[in-house]
Chains A and B, each alone.
Chain A
Protein backbone atom coordinates (compact mmCIF):
# COMPACT_ATOMS: atom_id res chain seq x y z
CA UNK A 1 0.00 0.00 0.00
CA UNK A 2 1.27 3.42 -0.82
CA UNK A 3 1.70 5.67 2.18
CA UNK A 4 -0.49 8.73 1.99
CA UNK A 5 1.54 11.92 2.33
CA UNK A 6 -0.45 14.19 4.56
CA UNK A 7 2.26 16.26 6.17
CA UNK A 8 5.44 15.90 4.17
CA UNK A 9 4.43 16.00 0.53
CA UNK A 10 7.93 15.79 -0.85
CA UNK A 11 7.09 18.40 -3.49
CA UNK A 12 10.17 20.56 -4.14
CA UNK A 13 10.00 24.09 -2.67
CA UNK A 14 6.66 23.36 -1.03
CA UNK A 15 7.65 25.78 1.73
CA UNK A 16 7.36 28.68 -0.71
CA UNK A 17 3.97 30.29 -0.83
CA UNK A 18 3.73 30.26 -4.63
CA UNK A 19 4.40 26.54 -4.84
CA UNK A 20 1.98 25.90 -2.01
CA UNK A 21 -0.70 27.91 -3.84
CA UNK A 22 -0.05 26.05 -7.09
CA UNK A 23 -0.83 22.80 -5.31
CA UNK A 24 -4.13 24.00 -3.96
CA UNK A 25 -2.86 25.81 -0.90
CA UNK A 26 -5.20 28.05 1.11
CA UNK A 27 -8.22 26.45 -0.56
CA UNK A 28 -9.21 24.54 2.54
CA UNK A 29 -9.61 27.69 4.60
CA UNK A 30 -12.07 28.95 1.97
CA UNK A 31 -13.92 25.67 2.22
CA UNK A 32 -13.99 25.94 6.01
CA UNK A 33 -15.19 29.54 5.95
CA UNK A 34 -18.15 28.46 3.82
CA UNK A 35 -19.16 26.04 6.60
CA UNK A 36 -20.51 26.66 10.09
CA UNK A 37 -17.70 26.64 12.70
CA UNK A 38 -19.36 23.75 14.52
CA UNK A 39 -19.34 21.72 11.31
CA UNK A 40 -15.61 22.25 10.93
CA UNK A 41 -15.11 20.89 14.45
CA UNK A 42 -17.50 18.07 13.54
CA UNK A 43 -15.35 17.16 10.57
CA UNK A 44 -12.24 17.00 12.76
CA UNK A 45 -14.15 14.88 15.27
CA UNK A 46 -15.20 12.52 12.50
CA UNK A 47 -11.58 12.16 11.38
CA UNK A 48 -10.65 10.67 14.75
CA UNK A 49 -7.56 12.87 14.86
CA UNK A 50 -5.73 12.53 18.15
CA UNK A 51 -3.20 14.99 19.52
CA UNK A 52 0.34 14.47 18.29
CA UNK A 53 2.09 15.94 21.30
CA UNK A 54 2.15 12.67 23.20
CA UNK A 55 -1.10 12.51 25.16
CA UNK A 56 -3.18 11.39 22.14
CA UNK A 57 -6.24 13.33 23.30
CA UNK A 58 -8.99 13.49 20.62
CA UNK A 59 -8.52 16.88 18.95
CA UNK A 60 -12.13 17.49 17.93
CA UNK A 61 -13.31 16.80 21.47
CA UNK A 62 -10.74 19.20 22.87
CA UNK A 63 -12.07 21.91 20.58
CA UNK A 64 -15.61 21.47 21.90
CA UNK A 65 -14.41 22.33 25.41
CA UNK A 66 -13.97 25.95 24.35
CA UNK A 67 -16.90 28.01 25.64
CA UNK A 68 -19.27 29.30 22.98
CA UNK A 69 -21.08 32.61 22.93
CA UNK A 70 -18.65 34.37 25.25
CA UNK A 71 -17.36 37.91 24.81
CA UNK A 72 -13.96 36.99 26.17
CA UNK A 73 -11.08 36.85 23.72
CA UNK A 74 -9.99 33.28 22.97
CA UNK A 75 -6.53 32.06 22.11
CA UNK A 76 -4.83 29.19 20.37
CA UNK A 77 -1.35 28.11 21.36
CA UNK A 78 0.49 25.90 18.93
CA UNK A 79 3.05 23.86 20.80
CA UNK A 80 6.31 23.60 18.90
CA UNK A 81 8.55 23.38 21.94
CA UNK A 82 9.63 19.88 20.91
CA UNK A 83 12.33 19.18 23.46
CA UNK A 84 11.75 15.52 24.21
CA UNK A 85 14.97 13.61 23.55
CA UNK A 86 14.36 11.46 20.49
CA UNK A 87 11.71 13.62 18.88
CA UNK A 88 12.57 15.97 16.06
CA UNK A 89 9.49 15.95 13.86
CA UNK A 90 7.97 19.45 14.14
CA UNK A 91 11.15 20.89 12.72
CA UNK A 92 10.31 19.16 9.43
CA UNK A 93 6.98 20.97 9.29
CA UNK A 94 8.56 24.38 9.96
CA UNK A 95 11.09 23.70 7.25
CA UNK A 96 9.15 21.89 4.54
CA UNK A 97 5.47 22.64 5.10
CA UNK A 98 5.01 25.89 7.02
CA UNK A 99 2.02 27.10 5.02
CA UNK A 100 -0.01 24.02 5.80
CA UNK A 101 0.61 24.79 9.47
CA UNK A 102 -0.52 28.40 8.97
CA UNK A 103 -3.60 27.30 7.05
CA UNK A 104 -4.33 24.77 9.79
CA UNK A 105 -4.19 27.55 12.37
CA UNK A 106 -6.64 29.64 10.32
CA UNK A 107 -9.12 26.77 10.09
CA UNK A 108 -8.71 25.92 13.78
CA UNK A 109 -9.21 29.53 14.82
CA UNK A 110 -12.32 29.79 12.67
CA UNK A 111 -13.76 26.62 14.17
CA UNK A 112 -13.41 27.99 17.70
CA UNK A 113 -13.81 31.71 17.04
CA UNK A 114 -10.27 32.49 18.14
CA UNK A 115 -8.76 35.90 17.51
CA UNK A 116 -5.06 35.23 18.00
CA UNK A 117 -2.72 32.25 17.84
CA UNK A 118 0.77 31.99 19.31
CA UNK A 119 3.18 29.48 17.88
CA UNK A 120 5.67 28.57 20.59
CA UNK A 121 8.97 27.38 19.15
CA UNK A 122 11.91 26.24 21.22
CA UNK A 123 14.75 28.73 21.46
CA UNK A 124 17.38 26.48 19.90
CA UNK A 125 15.45 26.46 16.61
CA UNK A 126 16.72 29.91 15.56
CA UNK A 127 16.85 28.92 11.93
CA UNK A 128 13.39 27.38 11.90
CA UNK A 129 11.90 30.38 13.65
CA UNK A 130 13.25 32.48 10.79
CA UNK A 131 11.90 30.05 8.18
CA UNK A 132 8.44 30.06 9.70
CA UNK A 133 8.51 33.83 10.17
CA UNK A 134 9.30 34.20 6.48
CA UNK A 135 6.34 31.99 5.57
CA UNK A 136 4.13 33.93 7.96
CA UNK A 137 5.22 37.27 6.49
CA UNK A 138 4.38 35.96 3.01
CA UNK A 139 0.96 34.83 4.17
CA UNK A 140 0.29 38.23 5.72
CA UNK A 141 1.42 39.93 2.53
CA UNK A 142 -0.97 37.86 0.43
CA UNK A 143 -3.78 38.78 2.78
CA UNK A 144 -4.40 35.30 4.18
CA UNK A 145 -3.82 36.33 7.79
CA UNK A 146 -4.80 39.41 9.79
CA UNK A 147 -7.16 42.29 8.91
CA UNK A 148 -6.82 41.61 5.19
CA UNK A 149 -8.59 38.26 5.59
CA UNK A 150 -11.96 39.99 5.39
CA UNK A 151 -11.16 41.26 1.91
CA UNK A 152 -9.42 38.10 0.72
CA UNK A 153 -12.05 35.64 1.81
CA UNK A 154 -15.09 37.95 1.92
CA UNK A 155 -16.16 36.79 5.36
CA UNK A 156 -16.34 38.68 8.63
CA UNK A 157 -13.56 36.76 10.34
CA UNK A 158 -10.02 37.82 11.14
CA UNK A 159 -7.29 36.20 13.14
CA UNK A 160 -3.66 36.95 13.86
CA UNK A 161 -0.71 34.61 14.22
CA UNK A 162 2.44 35.38 16.20
CA UNK A 163 5.59 33.40 16.89
CA UNK A 164 6.87 33.24 20.44
CA UNK A 165 10.38 31.93 20.87
CA UNK A 166 11.28 29.92 23.95
CA UNK A 167 14.68 30.05 25.60
CA UNK A 168 15.74 26.53 26.47
CA UNK A 169 13.38 24.92 28.95
CA UNK A 170 12.02 21.43 28.35
CA UNK A 171 9.23 22.06 30.83
CA UNK A 172 7.70 24.68 28.53
CA UNK A 173 6.41 21.86 26.35
CA UNK A 174 3.88 21.24 29.11
CA UNK A 175 0.79 23.24 28.16
CA UNK A 176 0.28 25.30 31.30
CA UNK A 177 3.97 25.98 31.66
CA UNK A 178 4.00 27.05 28.04
CA UNK A 179 1.23 29.54 28.74
CA UNK A 180 3.19 31.03 31.62
CA UNK A 181 6.15 31.32 29.30
CA UNK A 182 4.09 33.18 26.68
CA UNK A 183 2.91 35.52 29.42
CA UNK A 184 6.53 36.40 30.20
CA UNK A 185 6.89 34.45 33.42
CA UNK A 186 9.03 31.59 34.63
CA UNK A 187 7.79 28.40 33.02
CA UNK A 188 6.14 26.85 36.04
CA UNK A 189 3.24 24.50 35.29
CA UNK A 190 -0.13 25.49 36.72
CA UNK A 191 -2.67 23.41 38.56
CA UNK A 192 -5.38 21.74 36.51
CA UNK A 193 -8.30 22.36 36.87
CA UNK A 194 -9.00 25.00 35.80
CA UNK A 195 -8.17 23.67 32.36
CA UNK A 196 -6.86 25.97 29.62
CA UNK A 197 -10.24 25.94 27.85
CA UNK A 198 -11.69 27.79 30.84
CA UNK A 199 -8.71 29.63 32.20
CA UNK A 200 -5.75 29.75 29.86
CA UNK A 201 -3.61 32.55 28.49
CA UNK A 202 -4.26 35.71 30.53
CA UNK A 203 -7.15 33.87 32.15
CA UNK A 204 -9.02 33.55 28.85
CA UNK A 205 -10.28 30.39 27.10
CA UNK A 206 -7.31 28.80 25.35
CA UNK A 207 -6.66 25.67 23.35
CA UNK A 208 -3.20 24.17 23.13
CA UNK A 209 -2.43 21.86 20.21
CA UNK A 210 0.75 20.35 18.83
CA UNK A 211 2.26 21.62 15.59
CA UNK A 212 1.74 18.29 13.84
CA UNK A 213 -1.92 18.16 14.93
CA UNK A 214 -2.69 21.58 13.51
CA UNK A 215 -0.75 20.94 10.31
CA UNK A 216 -2.96 17.90 9.70
CA UNK A 217 -6.19 19.91 9.82
CA UNK A 218 -6.14 21.29 6.23
CA UNK A 219 -5.71 17.77 4.90
CA UNK A 220 -8.71 16.61 6.91
CA UNK A 221 -10.74 19.39 5.32
CA UNK A 222 -9.43 18.35 1.92
CA UNK A 223 -10.13 14.64 2.06
CA UNK A 224 -12.96 14.79 4.58
CA UNK A 225 -12.97 13.45 8.12
CA UNK A 226 -14.41 10.13 7.05
CA UNK A 227 -11.60 9.42 4.58
CA UNK A 228 -8.91 10.51 7.01
CA UNK A 229 -10.21 8.15 9.67
CA UNK A 230 -9.63 5.31 7.21
CA UNK A 231 -5.86 5.81 7.23
CA UNK A 232 -3.83 3.65 9.58
CA UNK A 233 -5.03 2.10 12.83
CA UNK A 234 -8.73 2.24 13.55
CA UNK A 235 -8.65 3.83 16.99
CA UNK A 236 -5.68 6.09 16.35
CA UNK A 237 -6.02 7.00 12.69
CA UNK A 238 -3.91 9.09 10.37
CA UNK A 239 -0.25 9.39 9.60
CA UNK A 240 2.45 10.11 12.12
CA UNK A 241 5.85 11.64 11.73
CA UNK A 242 8.12 9.01 13.19
CA UNK A 243 11.55 10.29 14.13
CA UNK A 244 13.94 7.37 14.24
CA UNK A 245 17.35 7.74 15.83
CA UNK A 246 20.01 5.64 17.52
CA UNK A 247 21.63 2.56 16.06
CA UNK A 248 19.89 2.36 12.69
CA UNK A 249 21.43 2.72 9.27
CA UNK A 250 19.09 5.43 8.03
CA UNK A 251 17.87 7.59 10.90
CA UNK A 252 15.46 10.40 10.12
CA UNK A 253 11.84 11.50 10.06
CA UNK A 254 9.40 9.31 8.16
CA UNK A 255 5.71 9.89 7.61
CA UNK A 256 3.88 6.59 8.02
CA UNK A 257 0.35 5.52 8.81
CA UNK A 258 -0.30 4.59 12.42
CA UNK A 259 -0.38 0.89 13.17
CA UNK A 260 2.74 0.19 11.12
CA UNK A 261 4.93 -2.59 12.49
CA UNK A 262 7.85 -1.39 14.58
CA UNK A 263 10.06 -4.01 12.99
CA UNK A 264 9.09 -2.71 9.53
CA UNK A 265 10.17 0.77 10.53
CA UNK A 266 13.51 -0.43 11.85
CA UNK A 267 14.42 -3.06 9.28
CA UNK A 268 12.75 -1.88 6.06
CA UNK A 269 12.41 1.85 6.28
CA UNK A 270 15.50 2.61 8.32
CA UNK A 271 17.68 -0.03 6.69
CA UNK A 272 18.20 -2.18 9.79
CA UNK A 273 20.58 -1.93 12.70
CA UNK A 274 24.09 -0.61 12.21
CA UNK A 275 26.59 -3.40 11.70
CA UNK A 276 23.70 -5.90 11.59
CA UNK A 277 23.75 -6.16 15.34
CA UNK A 278 20.84 -7.34 17.43
CA UNK A 279 18.45 -4.96 19.15
CA UNK A 280 18.62 -4.71 22.91
CA UNK A 281 16.01 -2.05 23.54
CA UNK A 282 13.72 0.37 21.74
CA UNK A 283 12.15 3.50 23.19
CA UNK A 284 8.97 3.89 21.15
CA UNK A 285 7.95 7.50 21.72
CA UNK A 286 10.60 9.81 23.11
CA UNK A 287 12.77 9.40 26.19
CA UNK A 288 9.94 9.68 28.72
CA UNK A 289 8.22 6.51 27.54
CA UNK A 290 9.00 3.11 29.07
CA UNK A 291 11.26 1.06 26.78
CA UNK A 292 10.56 -2.19 24.98
CA UNK A 293 13.07 -5.02 25.29
CA UNK A 294 14.52 -6.45 22.10
CA UNK A 295 12.57 -9.67 22.48
CA UNK A 296 9.30 -7.75 22.80
CA UNK A 297 9.28 -5.78 19.57
CA UNK A 298 8.17 -8.55 17.24
CA UNK A 299 4.67 -7.80 15.98
CA UNK A 300 4.35 -4.49 17.83
CA UNK A 301 2.20 -1.98 15.98
CA UNK A 302 2.91 1.69 16.36
CA UNK A 303 -0.28 3.30 17.57
CA UNK A 304 -1.44 4.29 21.02
CA UNK A 305 -3.99 1.52 21.45
CA UNK A 306 -1.53 -1.21 20.47
CA UNK A 307 1.25 0.10 22.70
CA UNK A 308 -0.86 0.67 25.79
CA UNK A 309 -1.21 -3.05 26.67
CA UNK A 310 2.58 -3.30 26.49
CA UNK A 311 2.88 -0.68 29.21
CA UNK A 312 4.22 2.05 26.99
CA UNK A 313 2.90 4.81 24.74
CA UNK A 314 3.33 6.28 21.30
CA UNK A 315 4.36 9.64 22.81
CA UNK A 316 5.77 11.90 20.14
CA UNK A 317 6.72 9.02 17.86
CA UNK A 318 10.41 9.46 18.57
CA UNK A 319 11.85 5.96 18.23
CA UNK A 320 15.30 5.35 19.72
CA UNK A 321 16.91 2.04 18.79
CA UNK A 322 19.72 0.58 20.90
CA UNK A 323 21.87 -2.31 19.77
CA UNK A 324 23.09 -5.27 21.81
CA UNK A 325 26.25 -3.52 23.00
CA UNK A 326 24.43 -0.61 24.60
CA UNK A 327 25.13 0.01 28.26
CA UNK A 328 21.58 0.24 29.61
CA UNK A 329 22.67 1.63 32.96
CA UNK A 330 24.52 4.45 31.29
CA UNK A 331 21.49 5.28 29.15
CA UNK A 332 19.19 5.19 32.19
CA UNK A 333 21.53 7.50 34.05
CA UNK A 334 21.65 9.90 31.10
CA UNK A 335 17.86 10.01 30.96
CA UNK A 336 17.67 10.57 34.72
CA UNK A 337 20.21 13.37 34.39
CA UNK A 338 18.07 15.02 31.73
CA UNK A 339 14.95 15.08 33.90
CA UNK A 340 16.91 16.28 36.89
CA UNK A 341 18.29 19.11 34.79
CA UNK A 342 14.88 20.02 33.38
CA UNK A 343 12.76 19.71 36.53
CA UNK A 344 11.42 23.22 37.16
CA UNK A 345 11.77 22.82 40.91
CA UNK A 346 8.19 23.62 41.80
CA UNK A 347 7.14 20.27 43.34
CA UNK A 348 9.30 18.56 45.92
CA UNK A 349 8.90 14.93 44.74
CA UNK A 350 10.16 15.81 41.28
CA UNK A 351 12.79 18.37 42.28
CA UNK A 352 14.38 16.08 44.88
CA UNK A 353 13.45 12.70 43.42
CA UNK A 354 14.99 13.29 40.01
CA UNK A 355 18.23 14.30 41.72
CA UNK A 356 18.23 11.22 43.90
CA UNK A 357 17.65 8.97 40.93
CA UNK A 358 20.59 10.49 39.11
CA UNK A 359 22.86 10.14 42.14
CA UNK A 360 21.91 6.52 42.76
CA UNK A 361 22.40 5.63 39.10
CA UNK A 362 25.76 7.39 39.10
CA UNK A 363 26.71 5.35 42.14
CA UNK A 364 25.79 2.14 40.35
CA UNK A 365 27.76 3.24 37.28
CA UNK A 366 30.79 3.95 39.44
CA UNK A 367 30.64 0.38 40.73
CA UNK A 368 29.50 1.34 44.21
CA UNK A 369 25.87 0.30 43.90
CA UNK A 370 24.13 -2.30 45.99
CA UNK A 371 21.15 -4.55 45.43
CA UNK A 372 19.08 -2.33 47.72
CA UNK A 373 19.70 0.59 45.37
CA UNK A 374 17.55 -1.03 42.70
CA UNK A 375 14.54 -1.26 44.95
CA UNK A 376 15.29 2.21 46.24
CA UNK A 377 15.21 3.53 42.68
CA UNK A 378 11.85 1.90 42.00
CA UNK A 379 10.55 3.27 45.28
CA UNK A 380 11.67 6.80 44.34
CA UNK A 381 9.95 6.39 40.96
CA UNK A 382 6.73 5.31 42.63
CA UNK A 383 6.84 8.28 44.95
CA UNK A 384 7.35 10.79 42.16
CA UNK A 385 4.71 9.42 39.84
CA UNK A 386 1.35 11.09 40.22
CA UNK A 387 2.54 13.35 43.03
CA UNK A 388 3.46 16.38 40.96
CA UNK A 389 1.55 19.22 39.33
CA UNK A 390 2.58 18.32 35.80
CA UNK A 391 3.59 15.19 33.95
CA UNK A 392 7.34 15.80 34.08
CA UNK A 393 7.46 13.75 37.26
CA UNK A 394 5.83 10.82 35.48
CA UNK A 395 8.08 11.35 32.49
CA UNK A 396 11.12 11.06 34.76
CA UNK A 397 9.82 8.02 36.64
CA UNK A 398 8.58 5.90 33.74
CA UNK A 399 11.79 5.30 31.83
CA UNK A 400 13.88 4.66 34.95
CA UNK A 401 11.37 2.17 36.33
CA UNK A 402 10.90 0.68 32.87
CA UNK A 403 14.60 0.10 32.36
CA UNK A 404 15.11 -1.37 35.81
CA UNK A 405 12.19 -3.77 35.56
CA UNK A 406 12.94 -4.85 32.01
CA UNK A 407 16.70 -5.11 32.39
CA UNK A 408 16.81 -6.23 36.00
CA UNK A 409 19.48 -8.85 35.18
CA UNK A 410 21.83 -6.28 33.82
CA UNK A 411 21.34 -3.96 36.79
CA UNK A 412 21.78 -6.83 39.24
CA UNK A 413 24.94 -8.00 37.54
CA UNK A 414 26.34 -4.49 37.85
CA UNK A 415 25.63 -4.13 41.55
CA UNK A 416 26.47 -7.64 42.73
CA UNK A 417 30.12 -7.63 41.99
CA UNK A 418 31.56 -10.18 44.36
CA UNK A 419 34.38 -8.80 46.45
CA UNK A 420 36.87 -10.84 48.42
CA UNK A 421 38.31 -9.68 51.70
CA UNK A 422 40.91 -11.46 53.68
CA UNK A 423 39.54 -11.75 57.19
CA UNK A 424 42.05 -10.25 59.56
CA UNK A 425 42.86 -12.90 62.15
CA UNK A 426 43.11 -10.55 65.05
CA UNK A 427 39.97 -11.40 66.90
CA UNK A 428 39.24 -14.37 68.97
CA UNK A 429 36.16 -16.46 68.63
CA UNK A 430 34.99 -19.88 69.51
CA UNK A 431 34.23 -20.37 65.87
CA UNK A 432 37.09 -21.38 63.65
CA UNK A 433 38.08 -18.30 61.68
CA UNK A 434 37.81 -18.75 57.96
CA UNK A 435 40.69 -17.94 55.69
CA UNK A 436 38.72 -15.67 53.51
CA UNK A 437 35.15 -14.50 53.48
CA UNK A 438 33.13 -13.65 50.43
CA UNK A 439 30.87 -10.70 50.88
CA UNK A 440 28.03 -10.27 48.53
CA UNK A 441 27.14 -6.67 48.28
Chain B
Protein backbone atom coordinates (compact mmCIF):
# COMPACT_ATOMS: atom_id res chain seq x y z
CA UNK B 1 0.00 0.00 0.00
CA UNK B 2 1.24 3.48 -0.83
CA UNK B 3 1.78 5.57 2.25
CA UNK B 4 -0.54 8.46 1.40
CA UNK B 5 -3.83 9.74 2.78
CA UNK B 6 -6.77 10.11 0.46
CA UNK B 7 -8.25 13.48 -0.44
CA UNK B 8 -10.97 13.22 2.22
CA UNK B 9 -8.48 12.11 4.84
CA UNK B 10 -6.31 15.11 4.08
CA UNK B 11 -9.35 17.29 4.63
CA UNK B 12 -9.77 15.61 7.99
CA UNK B 13 -6.14 16.41 8.80
CA UNK B 14 -6.83 20.06 8.01
CA UNK B 15 -9.85 19.99 10.31
CA UNK B 16 -7.73 18.49 13.10
CA UNK B 17 -5.08 21.18 12.63
CA UNK B 18 -7.73 23.88 13.03
CA UNK B 19 -8.53 22.66 16.56
CA UNK B 20 -5.19 23.73 17.94
CA UNK B 21 -3.25 26.98 17.85
CA UNK B 22 -0.07 25.06 17.00
CA UNK B 23 0.58 22.51 14.31
CA UNK B 24 2.47 20.09 16.53
CA UNK B 25 -0.61 19.42 18.65
CA UNK B 26 -2.24 17.69 15.71
CA UNK B 27 0.38 14.94 15.89
CA UNK B 28 -1.42 12.50 18.20
CA UNK B 29 -4.77 12.55 16.36
CA UNK B 30 -3.01 12.26 12.99
CA UNK B 31 -0.96 9.31 14.26
CA UNK B 32 -4.23 7.68 15.31
CA UNK B 33 -5.59 8.22 11.79
CA UNK B 34 -2.44 6.84 10.24
CA UNK B 35 -2.50 3.77 12.47
CA UNK B 36 -6.11 3.10 11.56
CA UNK B 37 -5.38 3.32 7.85
CA UNK B 38 -1.98 1.65 7.58
CA UNK B 39 -2.34 -0.83 10.46
CA UNK B 40 0.83 0.17 12.27
CA UNK B 41 3.37 2.96 12.41
CA UNK B 42 6.28 1.93 10.23
CA UNK B 43 9.18 4.28 9.63
CA UNK B 44 7.64 5.28 6.30
CA UNK B 45 4.32 6.14 7.96
CA UNK B 46 6.02 8.21 10.65
CA UNK B 47 8.07 10.05 8.00
CA UNK B 48 4.89 10.74 6.05
CA UNK B 49 3.12 12.13 9.16
CA UNK B 50 6.20 14.21 9.97
CA UNK B 51 6.05 15.70 6.49
CA UNK B 52 2.34 16.47 6.79
CA UNK B 53 2.79 18.38 10.05
CA UNK B 54 6.15 19.94 9.32
CA UNK B 55 7.80 18.07 12.20
CA UNK B 56 11.07 16.19 12.35
CA UNK B 57 10.98 12.42 12.07
CA UNK B 58 12.83 12.28 15.38
CA UNK B 59 10.00 14.08 17.16
CA UNK B 60 7.32 11.87 15.63
CA UNK B 61 9.34 8.76 16.49
CA UNK B 62 9.80 10.04 20.05
CA UNK B 63 6.08 10.54 20.53
CA UNK B 64 5.06 7.30 18.84
CA UNK B 65 7.39 5.27 21.03
CA UNK B 66 6.27 6.97 24.26
CA UNK B 67 2.65 5.87 23.98
CA UNK B 68 1.97 2.15 24.18
CA UNK B 69 -1.12 2.21 21.99
CA UNK B 70 0.77 3.25 18.86
CA UNK B 71 1.93 0.03 17.25
CA UNK B 72 5.57 -0.01 16.32
CA UNK B 73 5.30 -3.43 14.65
CA UNK B 74 2.64 -5.13 12.52
CA UNK B 75 -0.27 -6.47 14.56
CA UNK B 76 -2.64 -9.37 14.03
CA UNK B 77 -6.15 -8.78 12.76
CA UNK B 78 -7.54 -9.19 16.26
CA UNK B 79 -5.61 -7.43 18.97
CA UNK B 80 -6.40 -9.26 22.21
CA UNK B 81 -5.72 -7.18 25.30
CA UNK B 82 -6.02 -8.92 28.65
CA UNK B 83 -5.98 -6.88 31.84
CA UNK B 84 -4.16 -8.46 34.77
CA UNK B 85 -4.03 -5.43 37.05
CA UNK B 86 -5.21 -5.55 40.68
CA UNK B 87 -8.98 -5.75 40.26
CA UNK B 88 -8.75 -8.15 37.34
CA UNK B 89 -6.12 -10.17 39.20
CA UNK B 90 -8.57 -10.56 42.08
CA UNK B 91 -11.05 -11.77 39.46
CA UNK B 92 -8.70 -14.40 37.98
CA UNK B 93 -7.48 -12.25 35.08
CA UNK B 94 -4.20 -14.13 35.08
CA UNK B 95 -5.96 -17.41 34.48
CA UNK B 96 -7.77 -15.82 31.54
CA UNK B 97 -4.45 -14.64 30.16
CA UNK B 98 -2.86 -18.07 30.52
CA UNK B 99 -5.85 -19.69 28.89
CA UNK B 100 -5.75 -17.40 25.87
CA UNK B 101 -2.00 -17.73 25.64
CA UNK B 102 -2.24 -21.54 25.57
CA UNK B 103 -5.20 -21.48 23.22
CA UNK B 104 -3.41 -19.32 20.69
CA UNK B 105 0.01 -20.83 21.34
CA UNK B 106 1.65 -17.44 21.70
CA UNK B 107 3.15 -15.42 24.52
CA UNK B 108 2.72 -11.82 25.55
CA UNK B 109 3.35 -9.34 22.69
CA UNK B 110 3.37 -12.03 20.02
CA UNK B 111 1.26 -12.63 16.92
CA UNK B 112 0.01 -15.95 15.62
CA UNK B 113 1.71 -17.09 12.38
CA UNK B 114 -1.57 -16.77 10.47
CA UNK B 115 -1.72 -13.11 11.48
CA UNK B 116 -5.17 -13.48 13.04
CA UNK B 117 -4.37 -12.76 16.67
CA UNK B 118 -1.97 -10.61 18.66
CA UNK B 119 -1.87 -11.05 22.41
CA UNK B 120 -0.98 -8.35 24.89
CA UNK B 121 -1.10 -8.25 28.68
CA UNK B 122 -2.25 -4.71 29.40
CA UNK B 123 -2.49 -2.43 32.41
CA UNK B 124 -5.81 -1.30 33.85
CA UNK B 125 -8.31 -0.45 31.11
CA UNK B 126 -10.79 1.25 33.43
CA UNK B 127 -13.37 -1.51 33.64
CA UNK B 128 -12.55 -2.78 37.12
CA UNK B 129 -16.21 -3.36 37.98
CA UNK B 130 -16.40 -5.90 35.17
CA UNK B 131 -13.31 -7.86 36.14
CA UNK B 132 -11.96 -9.96 34.60
CA UNK B 133 -12.08 -8.12 31.32
CA UNK B 134 -10.45 -8.30 27.93
CA UNK B 135 -10.58 -6.02 24.93
CA UNK B 136 -10.57 -7.21 21.35
CA UNK B 137 -9.44 -4.37 19.11
CA UNK B 138 -11.65 -1.47 20.24
CA UNK B 139 -14.37 -3.41 22.05
CA UNK B 140 -14.53 -4.21 25.76
CA UNK B 141 -15.70 -7.59 27.04
CA UNK B 142 -16.36 -7.57 30.77
CA UNK B 143 -16.98 -10.42 33.26
CA UNK B 144 -15.49 -12.85 30.77
CA UNK B 145 -15.28 -16.57 31.39
CA UNK B 146 -13.23 -19.23 29.68
CA UNK B 147 -16.35 -20.52 27.96
CA UNK B 148 -17.23 -17.09 26.61
CA UNK B 149 -13.71 -16.63 25.34
CA UNK B 150 -13.72 -20.01 23.58
CA UNK B 151 -16.99 -19.18 21.82
CA UNK B 152 -15.85 -15.72 20.83
CA UNK B 153 -12.52 -16.90 19.50
CA UNK B 154 -14.16 -19.61 17.43
CA UNK B 155 -16.32 -16.93 15.84
CA UNK B 156 -13.31 -14.70 15.20
CA UNK B 157 -11.45 -17.57 13.54
CA UNK B 158 -14.32 -18.19 11.16
CA UNK B 159 -14.80 -14.59 10.15
Contact = CB atoms under 8 A, between A and B. Distances in A.
Contact of A202 (B19, B22, B91, B129): B22
Nearest to B27: A184
A417 interface: no
Given A243-B129, A334-B86, A162 B62 contact: no
A170 to B, nearest CB: 7
A327 to B, nearest CB: 10
A91 B140 CA distance: 12
B24 A185 contact: yes
A205 to B, nearest CB: 14
Contacts of B67: 123, 166-169, 187
Given A184-B28, A251-B131, A334-B86, A88 B126 contact: yes
A396 to B, nearest CB: 13
A278 to B, nearest CB: 15
Interface stretch (A22-30, A57-65, A79-87, A374-382): A79-87
A4 interface: no
A124 B86 contact: no
A164 B128 contact: no
A342 B32 contact: no
B28 A127 contact: no
Contacts of B84: 334
B28 A165 contact: yes
Contacts of B69: 123-124, 166-168
Interface string B113-142: 000000000111111111100010011100
Contact of B128 (A85, A170, A342): A85
B16 to A, nearest CB: 9
Given A126-B138, A164-B28, A243 B128 contact: yes
A247 interface: yes
B87 interface: yes
B26 interface: yes
B127 A88 contact: yes
Nearest to B16: A162
B3 interface: no
Given A88-B128, A165-B32, A186 B66 contact: yes
Contacts of B126: 82-83, 87-88, 90-91, 122, 124-125
A189 B155 CA distance: 43
Contact of A334 (B25, B85, B127, B140): B85
Contacts of A247: 90
Nearest to B53: A184
A245 B24 contact: no
A70 B122 CA distance: 44
Contacts of B138: 126-127
Interface in A318-356: 318, 320, 322, 326, 330-331, 334-335, 338, 341-342, 344
Contacts of A77: none
Contacts of A122: 126
A126 B22 CA distance: 25
Interface string A83-99: 11111101100000000
Contacts of B123: 83, 85, 170, 338, 341-342
A181 interface: yes
A183 B86 contact: no
Given A168-B67, A186-B66, A245-B129, A334 B124 contact: no
Given A170-B123, A184-B26, A318 B139 contact: no
23 contacts: A82-B126, A85-B85, A86-B87, A88-B126, A90-B126, A91-B126, A123-B67, A124-B122, A127-B140, A165-B28, A167-B28, A167-B31, A168-B67, A168-B69, A183-B24, A243-B128, A244-B129, A245-B131, A246-B91, A246-B131, A287-B124, A322-B90, A338-B85
Interface of B: 19-22, 24-29, 31-32, 55, 59, 62-63, 66-70, 84-87, 89-91, 122-131, 135, 138-140
Closest 5 pairs (CB-CB, A-B): A167-B67, A168-B69, A184-B27, A245-B128, A85-B124
